[in-house]
Structure 1
Amino acid sequence: MADPYIDPLETQIYGPYAREQMESVCRGLIAAFDGVLDFCKEEQARVDRLVADVLARQPRSPSPGGLDGTIDEARDILVRFHNYLLSLKGHPVDPATFFGKEAPSIIARRRPVKLEGALKHIIDELDPDSERNKTRRAAGGKGEASAGAKGRAGARENVEPELAFKGRSEWLAEFRDVYSRLSKYGDAARERKVEVVDSRPEVAAARETWLAVYTANKAVITGLLRHAGKLMLLPLIFDDLAEVHRVSGVSDAPPSGAGAPPSTVPA
């Protein structure tokens, strides 16, 4: 899906990346289109410079310290927890309960807002007092564990059989700690976006100009890829469309109260 909100700082990531990818992915797909491709790249470069010049004139807001380290911790705990579940004798816990069908290494690559969601899901699964588990108990349980696992688990803890494994409480505490710190940094980042976008009209106007060109380029490149039968390559060019971002320093979360024009392209 498309990034629902591209803030002014993120234009300096998405724009140059799109220009590079237009060249490497689209050049030569249809020879007659290469001139139009040059125009798209030039226009994108123009508005990238426009926003860069405007941002350079603005007072800088300090970034929250420690964010990169907390992101690394979040990614690390996801992989460690998965490996721990696999190491349990008899495999009483299905990792899919916490990770679904995706590998933890894939989930760990996602941007901070997605990492927050993954951590919150695991916390809700581990916490016997979460609304999710209360609802399951009221409904008679989920029934995912084997009969043997259910019996062994029921004798150990008064929680869902899938959750009754050694170290559950310790893992829950560690996940809560990392999630709390990651959420704090995410909130600070969103507050900075509100400040940049809402309180500085010059920046907001430059962003609107940038979005108009970026969206137009999406439409043009979409047409090229449709003609070439390669529409699936679109997220490789416009990274806000990618489920797993290839660029760093971007987020899908809109700041509270800030409206944004859609950045999607019709299917």
Structure 2
Amino acid sequence: MAAQISSAGPVRIACVQMEPHIGDVAANRAATARFIETAARQGARLIVLPELCNSGYVFHSREEALALAEEIPAGDTCRLWCALAHRLRVYIVAGIAERDGTALYNAAVVIGPDGYVGKYRKLHLWNQENLHFSPGDLGVPVFDTPFGRVGVAVCYDGWFPEVYRMAALQGADLVCVPTNWVPMPDQPPGQHPMAVTLTMASAHSNALFIACADRVGIERGQPFIGGSVIVHCSGWPAAGPASRDDEAIVYADLDLSEARDQRRLTEFNQLLSDRRGDVYGDYQRLTK
């Protein structure tokens, strides 16, 4: 049953920036529990964890990825998160390697105080993810919570404006993004990473709150850039970006109902109703 949405005011959101270790599922699982406990003690009601935080990211082979993946929600990691969410009365959005029969997905799970809520499967696979995972097949689901409607994206999905727009058109107030951002070429010194810039632009152009939980560290030679950030529906950071190197938790107190008001830009302009579908037409055909 869908949760009753409330406009009771701010909710504290936490984005966990941590360093999973490839292959060490037990230690990764225990680390997520420690961070969830810490965030809950600080009053967080929605806690976002990074992409593939149960398994690590840089797999040598599909066989290794399959061995480290778990069923959703029957696997040990989801069962732990369900127990924590129930005891602490929090919601958790976390990236996880999902095994579904012989299929593998780079997924994210949504869990609440009453148990498993739903899942998302990453739509756009980055680089060698294509060797291990199948592209997501669940679309862009949006989930009801007591504090607003919540969508999910994972990492490279954020490079595609359609993902955030689809969430907004379904009434999402917030999109949670478990991510493993890597350096982009030609990054000017002193500037936000491109991922943060894209997140700010997407939040502004859709009037969405966006909460991104990144990882840090170097795994099998691949560096990750940190920078976890919570962006207000106006497009400006509400908390973060966090550092490039350190584990941390980023917090923001947000009233998600503001997203619905933010879409009204002027007396004459509303971000979603101003869309010119008559002009855009079949954009898939236009790009061929």
> Quick check: which has more Rg, 1 or 2?
1
The answer to whether TM tops 0.5 is no
Q: Which interval holds the TM-score relative to the shorter structure? A: under 0.3
Task: Determine which structure has the larger helix proportion and give its number.
Answer: 1
Task: Determine which structure has the larger strand proportion and give its number.
Answer: 2
Select the structure with the greater relative contact order (CA < 8 A; seq sep ≥ 6). Answer: 1
Structure 2 length normalisation: TM-score?
0.20
